[in-house]
Amino acid sequence: MAMGAGVLAYFGLREEPPVWTMAPAPVLIVLAWLVAVRAPHAGWAIGLVAAAALGFAAAVGHAWLAPPPLAPPMRAVVLSGVVQNVELLPEGRRVTLAEPRFGPDDPAQPRTIRIRLRASDPARPEPGDRLNVRALVRAPSAPAFPGAWDFQRAAFFAGQGGAGFAIGPAEVTPRGGRAPPLAGLRTAIEARVTGVVPGPAGAVAAALLTGGQSAIPREDLTAMRDSGLAHLLSVSGLHIAIVMGVTFWVVRLLVACWRWLALRVDGKAWAGVAGLVAGGFYMLLTGAQVPMQRSFATAVLVTLALLTGRQAISLRSLALAAAAVMLVAPDALLGPSFQMSFAAVLALIAGWEAMKGPMARLRGDGAWWRHAAVFAVGLVGTSVLAGFATAPFGLAHFGRLQWYGVAANAVAVPLTSVVVMPAGMLAALLMPLGLDALPLAVMGWGCEAVLAVAREVASWPGAAQGAKPIPPWGLAVFAFGMAWLCLWRMRWRLVGLPLMALGLASPALHRPPDLFVSGDARLIGFAADGALWLQRQSGASALTRDSWLRAHGLAEMRPLPAEGEAAGGAVSCRAGACTLRATRDGPAAA
């Protein structure tokens, strides 16, 4: 918590701090250690300050080490670079170029560029190829309004310099550069999976094995999101737990079946190491995104605890995993992926601590129906806990609520755990031998079943509704209250409940802007009478418009009238000019 506060303190600054502000962190860490020997309470207090200083220093260090932003030319250029990644899209491909050049005589740039190739382009670039293409490139966009998601900040820390689209055919020079590790394997697996399992099911299967979601059709992504199943597409804790768990038990079973080996080695240790190797490889193969980093860090601690006879799952392990992620990528703290994944695991661990006694009593004498009841209660309970813990963060970032997530997860999660992921693991093992067609077909069937669940649940009335987002301060209050409730064991933990309630009620206490103007002035929006009234020109950003809609929890858009009044008199237009008034007696904007 203290380390996260330090990271947030850095991102709350208006100016970049000098590099010497990193210096207090090591000094405070040593001081806390020395003081704790004689005065433990004082040492803990200094330790909290040291942790905050460490989080601040990590953010400062990452900002100073990052390459400077790019300023792409505001014209069409002949872009060249080394292909680092290839993403399959429903139509066409998108490539990530390293060492990009905006002309034959320009120097190589230190950041990457993402380019969408034309759907009709016959070129099939692979990681490590050199690509030349005529394209339009733009720098990452600024926030749609103050407090909105900052694409420039995210791109800066991700090493991205811009994105664009091709306006000509691509020329590919095979093996003209160096590809990142596993990039070629990732592309080959994705192509093989989508070749054997066609359609959306193949795209979902490829996403689970390689981490890329770009090939999934937009309507299916929307169905997964509206049904509360989007987390199944984001490779994270559930997936790595299945991979490591299956590997652990298979290796342990093989050791136990080989009597000579079982008498000479510790099968549990071998299985644990094999699980870690499988999990680490899976993390690298899927791109090592933030949820996967958190999951793998936690899995390492859990495995080490199992091998040393200690408690496997604990809040201490979660805290260490969070600290590791913030040291590696401090900016991840601001994103929904970090917040939702850690919130879900925190709620599940705290909920298990509170429910393990009643669950043990329910299991009783071990009758089959008691085991079935424990499984059902556990499945529903984990869905409810994780859903409640992550809903405020999803509302803050996406402005939507999914009401039937528990029902959808009750069917889709067992399908993923029992059918989809084990079949995918078997297919990956048999792929080098060319024997992967059958397990891929089984995996495709499972993915189609998951998609069917998502489509059905998303079609139910009111499955997903737009709502006014939780403001940043409300989200911080909710997160602090939730952490207070989950971390403490004494009765004062209940103080977290009113804090959580205040955070949930914060949208009613917060008023977003009524009038919006895009950075290029091509789009003007005014929120009134339950709709967003728009005046737009050619080339206006749809992404900016959608951000304005989410800011007020609106779904309806209307054009500003050419003449007359609208929105109950809040909008009045005459002779090509409009007067906008947020309240009847309030100031007017023209």
Q: What is the pLDDT of residue 128?
A: 87
Helix (H, G, I), strand (E, B) or coil at 532: strand
Tell me whether residue 211 is in a domain: no
State both tokens at 112. 């990457």
Tell me whether residue 215 is in a domain: no
pLDDT in tens, 444-472: 999 999 999 999 999 999 888 888 889 99
Tell me whether residue 23 is in a domain: yes
527 pLDDT band (50/70/90 cuts)?
A: confident
Q: CA 334 from chain center: how many Å?
A: 11
501 pLDDT band (50/70/90 cuts)?
A: very high
Res 583 pLDDT > 80 = no
Res 590 pLDDT > 60 = no
Q: Are residues 175 and 303 in the same domain?
A: no
Q: What is the pLDDT of residue 46?
A: 92
Q: What is the pLDDT of residue 514?
A: 84
Q: What is the secondary structure of 339-371 as a DSSP string?
A: HHHHHHHHHHHHHHHHHHHHHHHHHTT--HHHH
Res 540 pLDDT > 70 = yes
Q: Are residues 380 and 366 in the same domain?
A: yes
CB 97 within 8 A of CB 83: yes
Q: What is the pLDDT of residue 351?
A: 84
Q: Are residues 259 and 149 in the same domain?
A: no
309 pLDDT band (50/70/90 cuts)?
A: low
DSSP H or E segment with residue 590: none
Domain boundary among 14, 40, 65: 65
Tell me whether residue 187 is in a domain: no
| Between 73 and 289, residue with greater pLDDT | 73
In angstroms, the CA 345 to CA 294 distance is: 10
Q: What is the pLDDT of residue 53?
A: 95
Res 216 pLDDT > 70 = yes
State both tokens at 523. 């789009």
Average pLDDT for 222-235: 86
Give which of 235, 194, 185 is closest to 216, Cα–Cα.
Answer: 194
- Beta bridge partner(s), residue 114: 96, 163
Res 584 pLDDT > 80 = no
In angstroms, the CA 316 to CA 338 distance is: 17
In angstroms, the CA 151 to CA 140 distance is: 6
Lowest mean pLDDT, pick from 80-94, 306-320, 323-337, 401-415: 306-320
Q: Which residue in the block uniquely carries the two structure tokens 């929307």? A: 222
Lowest mean pLDDT, pick from 1-15, 378-392, 406-420: 378-392
Helix (H, G, I), strand (E, B) or coil at 579: strand
Tell me whether residue 460 is in a domain: yes
Q: Are residues 337 and 376 in the same domain?
A: yes
Q: What is the secondary structure of 131-167 as a DSSP string?
A: EEEEEEEEPPPPPSSTTS--HHHHHHHHTEEEEEEES
Q: Are residues 28 and 113 in the same domain?
A: no
State both tokens at 352. 């298990």
Q: What is the pLDDT of residue 340?
A: 87
Average pLDDT for 467-490: 90
Q: Are residues 367 and 487 in the same domain?
A: no
Q: Which pairs from 146-152 meet CB under 8 Å and 24+ separation?
A: 146/513, 147/471, 147/472, 148/547, 148/551, 149/397, 149/547, 152/69
CB 276 within 8 A of CB 307: no
Res 480 pLDDT > 90 = yes
Q: What is the pLDDT of residue 60?
A: 95
Q: What is the pLDDT of residue 290?
A: 67
Across the beta sheet with 523-528, what order do the strands follow? 515-517, 523-528, 531-536, 557-559
Average pLDDT for 58-67: 94
State both tokens at 130. 């050199």
Average pLDDT for 569-574: 80
Res 180 pLDDT > 80 = no
Q: What is the pLDDT of residue 448?
A: 95
Model-wide pTM > 0.85 = no
111 pLDDT band (50/70/90 cuts)?
A: very high
Lowest mean pLDDT, pick from 33-47, 48-62, 235-249, 464-478: 235-249
In this structure, the number of other CB atoms found within 10 A of the CB of residue 263 comes to 7
Average pLDDT for 522-533: 85
Domain boundary among 449, 466, 483: 466
Across the beta sheet with 564-566, what order do the strands follow? 564-566, 571-574, 577-581, 588-589
Q: What is the pLDDT of residue 534?
A: 86
Percent of the chain with pLDDT over 70: 96
Highest mean pLDDT among 24-38, 313-327, 378-392: 24-38
Helix (H, G, I), strand (E, B) or coil at 550: helix
Give which of 44, 58, 41 is closest to 5, Cα–Cα.
Answer: 58
Tell me whether residue 27 is in a domain: yes
Q: Are residues 277 and 366 in the same domain?
A: yes
| Between 489 and 326, residue with greater pLDDT | 326
Q: What is the secondary structure of 281-301 as a DSSP string?
A: HHHHHTT--HHHHHHHHHHHH
Q: What is the pLDDT of residue 484?
A: 92
Q: Are residues 172 and 298 in the same domain?
A: no
**Residues in CB range of 196: below 8 A, 6 or more apart:** 202, 436, 437, 440, 441, 444
Q: What is the pLDDT of residue 312?
A: 61
**For the chain, what is the mean pLDDT?**
86
Q: Are residues 497 and 525 in the same domain?
A: no
Res 500 pLDDT > 90 = yes
Lowest mean pLDDT, pick from 9-13, 281-285, 569-573: 569-573
Q: Are residues 394 and 525 in the same domain?
A: no
Q: Are residues 81 and 37 in the same domain?
A: no
Q: Are residues 306 and 157 in the same domain?
A: no
Tell me whether residue 417 is in a domain: yes
Res 586 pLDDT > 60 = no
pLDDT in tens, 235-293: 777 778 888 888 888 888 998 888 888 888 888 888 888 988 888 888 888 877 766 77
Q: What is the pLDDT of residue 22?
A: 93
According to DSSP, the β-strands at 93-101 and 112-116 are: antiparallel
Q: What is the pLDDT of residue 341?
A: 83
Tell me whether residue 20 is in a domain: yes
Domain boundary among 118, 148, 180: 180
321 pLDDT band (50/70/90 cuts)?
A: confident
State both tokens at 472. 């940043």
In angstroms, the CA 493 to CA 403 distance is: 28
According to DSSP, the β-strands at 160-166 and 400-402 are: unpaired
Residue 523 belongs to domain spanning: 515-589
**How many structural domains does the chain have?**
5
First to last CA, the chain: 46
For helices 40-65 and 24-38, angle between their N-to-C axes, nearest 10 degrees: 160
Type of residue at 47: G
> If you compute the radius of gyration of the chain from its CA atoms, what whole number of angstroms results?
26
Burial of 313-326, coded b for 16+ CB within 10 Å and e otherwise, reads: bbeebbbebbbbbb
